[in-house]
Each structure stands twice: as C-alpha cells, then as structure tokens.
C-alpha cells in the first residue's frame, strides 16, 4: 500500500503528501501564510475541519475568512460555539436546540425557563465578547450513537438527545468543545480552529420558533445575528439593514395607503385604491410591451380538474402546495377534485392545442396575467414579497428547436428594455444547465443550452453558468436585478421545456409533412406582480416615477377663499386623465404639505390668493424639494409630458 497520496489543488497543480495528512498540514505545505489564515478545507467538495485527515487521493481547497465558504464557517462557529455557550453561561437551565447559518448571518434556538427578550441582547453580546476574548481552541471528538446520547443525557440537553436518537446515522457523531470550559455541542461542522479567528458580529433580533417548525411542538426562543470579516464590513451591512428598514414596503404601504393583509385571508392582498392604481398602471405598461412584441393575451381558468395536473406531472410535484376544492358532481356518485392553479403552463398548452398548427404558424407567443395560488407556510410569508395568491406576467412561446436562439435574444432585449425603463439598469444573467435527473436526449439538451448561450453572447451581456441547476425539463436563464441599495432580486426567467409538450400532446406539422412537438419556452419578466411592486416600492423608497404614482398631484388650499379656483384646477387636470387629489381641509398649509409628503405624493400644488389672482399654479416637487410657478396651460402640458408611460 502506498504511503503517499496525490492532492490536487484548485489551480490544477498536484502535490505528494503522506497518508493521514491533516488539512492544516496541507495548508502549511502550500505556504505558511495560508496556514496562518486557514479556517477549514474541503476534500472532494466536502467541507472539513483543519484537524481532519486525508488518506487517499483527493481534490483539496483551503478556505480562509476572505472566502464565501470561510465566512459562512465563521458564522456557524459564532452561532454554535459562541452564542450557544453564552446562552448556557447566562441561563444555565436553558436547553440548546439548533444553530445554523442563514443568508448574511445565523440564529440559535433554545428553550429557557427565564424570559429572554430583545432587551437582553446587549447582555448576551457582552458575554459572547468575553468568550471570544479567551481565544480558546475548538477541538472535535468522534463518538458512537450510544456515546453521543449519553454525553448529552448526562448534561440534560434533551433536544440534542432527540436529534441523535432520530438520526439515521449510527456512528461518527461530531462533538465540539472549547478546551476545559466544559461546553460541548453536537454539530455537522466544520468550525474555526480557534475563537481568535472570529470577526465582527451583532445580534439583531429575537423571535419565537416552534421545534422542528411544527406548531404542534413547543415554542422556542430564536436569537438572530450577523457576522462579518471585520468591523468595516459589519458596519456596512448594518447601515444597509437600516436603509432597508426605512424602505420596507409594508411600512411605506401604510403611509401611502396602498394595501393591507389580514388573518381572515392569510397571504392574500387587500389592494386599496391607491395600491391598485400602481398595479393597473404596471399591468397596462407590460400589456402594451407584450402586444408590441408579438404576444397574444389570453386568460385561462382559475380552477382546473386534477386530471390535467396529473397529465402535466404537476400533481405529484406540487400537490402539497396546491389549494384543493372538492365538489359533489351532479348525477355522479363521486366527488370531483379540482385545484386552484399554482401555475399557468398546462392551461396555455390547452389553448395552443386548439386547431392544427403548421411550422409556418410558429412561433406562437401567448401571454397571461395569470392569477395563481400556492400554499406557503405561514412562517415564510412576508408582505408582498411572498404571498399565497399572486398574479404572474406569464408567457409561453411555442417554437421549433431552430427558433430557440432568436426567441431567447428577443426576450432578453424586451426584458432589458423593461427593466431599464422601470429604473433597474443593472441585472445579471445566470444560465442553469442540465441536472443529473432530466428528460430529453443529450442531443436536444446540447442544442438548447448552446442556443441560450449563443443568444446571450450575441447581445454581449455578461453571464454566469450554474452547472446542473437547470429544470428537469430543460435549461433556463434567470435574471437577477440590483436595486438602489445593492440588494439582488431574481425576477425574470426564461426556460426551455421539452417535457410538457410531449405530456400534453402539443404538435405542429413540419415542413416535411410529419407531426413534430414544439419546444415550449416558459418566460416571465416581472414574475409575481405583488412581489415586483414590493421591490419597486423599496427601490424608490415609495417615491415612484410620476407615471406609476397613485396620486400624481395634490392640490392644497391655503384658505377657503381659493376653494372654487382649486376645484376648477382639479377639473382641468382630471380631464387630462391625471391622478389628482384636492385637499380643502381647514388645516395649516405646513401640516398638509407634511402629510402629503409622507404619503410620497410626487407633486403638490399650493394654491393661495396670489395664485388665484394671477391664474397660476405653484408646484412643489417632492424629489427636488423646490417650488416653481406655472400658468395653468404650462402646468397641464408639463404634467402630461412627465406622466407619460414609457413606450
């Protein structure tokens, strides 16, 4: 048996190393500086602690805190080793549950007899800093299932015992400790080798969470936090959080009177008149864009028999997320099972299937503002960003394989134009290629992937490849836009489908006179209208472009003597289809201006005796915070021009 193994580094270079070499020793082989900075490593893609050993040929990567992997490992250590220990120090009878990483941070769940509130977070942070200051080494020991259960049963950590008992694993349970502190935790790892590599952190909030996410189980306390490489990165992120909180669409919706949600219809939006105004303006804008680009708008049923969902394959994959209706069919001895549609695609195939299609008829582009319903867990819903009832700007293109590239290029151009006009000049494209489990031949996948990639290259747009992340029925493009404060949102999508046309018998007569199946391209630009409106509100901090603003102009009177003149102005603006409010309340003008400013009304016309006498309009611009005086005709002309929908 060879006493040496070959390790392959990310750059392709190889090194010979003794069997049983540790991750830290490999880092030292590469360089002392890397060894000093290393926090963990991976063996053939599997993350390991630096103390773990390698006994056979392997691909090796060393992680430092500067890498995404290293940062996540540091966050995991802060949660499972620092926060968990601080909780036990401060609340000795607390029972520890789980502490994973999440986007930009971490959380830890625990059960405590003592009430722990947001007011206790500074105290817990202080205890965490004391623990980090000890710079303890973090060591790992491996145990059998029986040994692991005994370890945690002895210290009355009931949740750890439950996790181990319910695990399919029978051996190699990892227990981490910090020297002789007496603290141990069960964890999949890896962790930092020592606490002196912890960066900067901040606890952000505390909430309730059911054990295993099941409302039938006991309620635990969950402390959230964020951790970063250094204080500078932490401060930058906290500033972003503050800005995001100011822009929260739920908060702005109350100030602007846009919508509300309530318990009687969880995850369903009650649109108020002003919010619906935004919705309708955005829908009409998208409608006109699609019609101009060769789409025919259709509308399909909201409730569809399960037979269609079974035929399409969605029943098996989406059944848990469907809203089901059962009715006693007249003159039948059985119940008819229907579902509120969770997506529109099977219905679009039914429209395509009406009438024989020739290759000359392709591409067929169908679009629908499709009302869909999906059951989302109550804990995942968030304002407009995640709801149970939503409308998609859905579309499907039925085309030949040879038309995929041209249709892809046309769609990207349309999407780019719309995103730019809506104020999002920056977006990224991700090309997701074939997964291991898929339908269709490799030849068809080769052609589809090449067509999507060729279209992107011809448009000279940067993109990244997400290998293996495609849908089982075909490759896809995801479009990720960046908002005003740097957050990314995946909205648009373009997917090639070779599966559904086959399952639902979609056909066309080819140039050879034979029947062929079209390729079905699924596409959306905004995605969910509800979610996109939430993104728009936050991107603009409520100060929407004039053409989208629910109230474009508020006319504010200074005194009752000008009410008649103000009303005549409103009538003139109304005649031009401008969205105008008249505020004739007997309130001070400063109060009115402040109230309409809080409601994010972009323009305010302050009408006093001078304006009435001169027959003019003084308009205050919210964004520019300045006032200009115009004749009535000038004001109408200016507003009509500035409120035009992009075309």
Q: Is 522 annotated as a binding residue?
A: yes
Which residue out of 88, 314, 357, 374 is catalytically annotated?
Answer: 374
Which residue out of 187, 345, 399, 491 is catalytically annotated?
Answer: 345
Q: Which of 363, 362, 316, 366 is nearest to 339 (CA)?
A: 316
| Cα distance between residue 152 and residue 457, in whole Å | 57
Which residue out of 314, 365, 438, 522 is catalytically annotated?
Answer: 522
Q: Is 345 annotated as a binding residue?
A: yes
Q: What angle do CA 182, 183, 184 make, to 5 degrees?
A: 115
| Cα distance between residue 455 and residue 524, in whole Å | 17
Q: Is 347 annotated as a binding residue?
A: no
| Cα distance between residue 410 and residue 325, in whole Å | 39
Residue 113's alpha-carbon distances to 92, 94, 110, 455, 527, in angstroms, are 10, 7, 10, 61, 45
Q: Which of 499, 498, 250, 533 is nearest to 393 (CA)?
A: 533
Burial class (CB in 10 A: 0-12, 13-18, 19+), 164: buried
396 belongs to the catalytic site: yes
Which residue out of 476, 531, 592, 596 is catalytically annotated?
Answer: 476
DSSP, collapsed to helix, strand or coil, labels residue 172 as coil
Tokens found for residue 273? 């008149």
Contacts by residues 621-625 (CB-CB < 8 Å, ≥ 24 positions apart): 622/543, 622/597, 623/543
Which residue out of 81, 174, 178, 392 is catalytically annotated?
Answer: 392
DSSP, collapsed to helix, strand or coil, labels residue 200 as strand
- Helix/strand/coil (H/E/C) assignment for every residue in 119-158: HHHHHHHHHHHHHHHCCCECEEEEECHHHHHHHHHHCCCH
What torsion, rounded to 10 degrees, do the Cα atoms 405, 409, 410, 412 define? Answer: 140
| Cα distance between residue 363 and residue 549, in whole Å | 36
Tokens found for residue 365? 């582009």
Residue 315's alpha-carbon distances to 310, 321, 323, 342, 500, in angstroms, are 5, 10, 11, 10, 13
DSSP, collapsed to helix, strand or coil, labels residue 555 as strand
Q: Secondary structure of the chain: what % helix, strand, coil (to 5)?
A: 40, 30, 35
Q: Which of 80, 132, 73 is nearest to 110 (CA)?
A: 80
| Cα distance between residue 228 and residue 236, in whole Å | 10
Which residue out of 394, 478, 483, 583 is catalytically annotated?
Answer: 394
Query: What Rg do the C-alpha atoms of the chain give, in angstroms?
Result: 30
- Helix/strand/coil (H/E/C) assignment for every residue in 376-412: CCHHHCECCCECCEEEEEEEEEEECHHHHHHHHHHHH
| Cα distance between residue 598 and residue 600, in whole Å | 5
345 belongs to the catalytic site: yes
**Residues making up the binding site:** 345, 396, 522
**Residues making up the binding site for Zn(2+):** 345, 396, 522
Residues noted as catalytic: 345, 374, 392, 394, 396, 476, 522
């Amino acid at each position: 048996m060879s006493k040496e193994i070959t390790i392959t580094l990310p750059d392709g270079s190889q090194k010979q190393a003794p069997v049983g070499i540790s991750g830290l020793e490999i880092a030292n082989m590469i360089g002392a500086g890397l060894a000093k900075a290393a926090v963990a490593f991976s063996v053939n893609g599997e993350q390991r602690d630096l103390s773990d050993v390698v006994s056979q040929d392997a691909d090796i990567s060393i992680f430092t805190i500067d890498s995404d992997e290293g940062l996540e490992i540091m966050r995991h250590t802060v949660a499972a080793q620092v926060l968990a220990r601080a909780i036990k120090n401060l609340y000795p009878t607390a029972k520890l549950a789980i502490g994973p990483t999440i986007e930009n941070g971490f959380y830890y769940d625990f059960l405590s007899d003592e009430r722990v509130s947001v007011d206790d977070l500074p105290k817990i942070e202080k205890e965490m800093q004391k623990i980090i200051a000890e710079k303890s080494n973090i060591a790992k020991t491996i145990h059998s299932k029986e040994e692991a259960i005994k370890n945690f049963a002895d210290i009355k950590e009931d949740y750890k015992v439950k996790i181990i008992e319910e695990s399919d694993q029978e051996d190699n349970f990892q227990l981490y400790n910090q020297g002789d502190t007496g603290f141990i935790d069960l964890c999949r790892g890896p962790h930092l080798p020592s606490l002196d590599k912890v960066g900067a952190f901040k606890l952000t909030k505390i909430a309730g969470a059911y054990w295993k996410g099941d409302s039938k189980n006991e309620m635990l306390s969950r402390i959230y936090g964020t951790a970063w490489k250094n204080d500078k990165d932490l401060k930058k992120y906290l500033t972003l959080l503050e800005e995001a909180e100011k822009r929260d669409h739920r908060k702005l919706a109350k100030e602007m009177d846009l919508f509300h949600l309530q318990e009687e219809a969880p995850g369903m939006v009650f649109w108020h008149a002003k919010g619906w105004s935004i919705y309708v303006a955005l829908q009409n804008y998208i409608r006109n864009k699609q019609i101009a680009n060769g789409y025919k708008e259709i509308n399909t049923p909201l409730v569809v028999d399960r037979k269609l969902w079974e035929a399409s394959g969605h029943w098996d994959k989406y059944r848990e997320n469907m809203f089901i209706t059962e009715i006693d069919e007249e003159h039948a001895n059985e119940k008819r099972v229907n579902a509120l549609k969770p997506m529109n695609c099977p219905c679009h195939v039914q429209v395509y299937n009406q009438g024989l299609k020739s290759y000359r008829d392709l591409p067929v582009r169908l679009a629908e503002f499709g009302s869909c319903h999906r059951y989302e867990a109550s804990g995942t819903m968030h304002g407009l960003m995640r709801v149970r009832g939503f409308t998609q700007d859905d579309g499907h293109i039925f085309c030949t394989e040879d038309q995929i590239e041209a249709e892809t290029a046309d769609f990207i151009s349309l999407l780019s134009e719309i995103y730019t006009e809506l104020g999002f000049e920056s977006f990224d494209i991700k090309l997701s290629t074939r997964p291991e489990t898929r339908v269709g031949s490799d030849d068809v996948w080769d052609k589809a992937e090449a067509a999507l990639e060729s279209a992107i290259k011809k448009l000279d747009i940067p993109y990244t490849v997400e290998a293996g992340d495609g849908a089982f029925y075909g490759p896809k493009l995801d479009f990720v836009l960046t908002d005003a404060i740097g957050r990314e949102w995946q909205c648009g999508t373009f997917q090639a489908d070779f599966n559904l046309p086959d399952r639902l018998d979609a056909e066309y007569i080819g140039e050879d006179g034979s029947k062929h199946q079209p390729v079905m391209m699924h596409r959306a630009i905004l995605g969910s209208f509800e979610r996109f409106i939430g993104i728009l509100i936050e991107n603009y901090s409520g100060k929407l472009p004039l053409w989208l603003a629910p109230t474009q102009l508020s006319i504010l009177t200074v005194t009752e003597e000008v009410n008649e003149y103000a009303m005549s102005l409103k009538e003139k603006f109304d005649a031009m289809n401008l969205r105008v409010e008249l505020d004739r309340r007997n309130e001070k003008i400063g109060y009115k201006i402040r109230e309409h400013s809080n409601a994010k009304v972009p323009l305010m016309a302050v009408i006093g005796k001078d304006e009435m006498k001169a027959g003019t309009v003084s308009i205050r611009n919210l964004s520019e915070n300045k006032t200009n005086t115009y004749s009535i005709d000038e004001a109408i002309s200016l507003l009509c021009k500035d409120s035009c929908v992009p075309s």
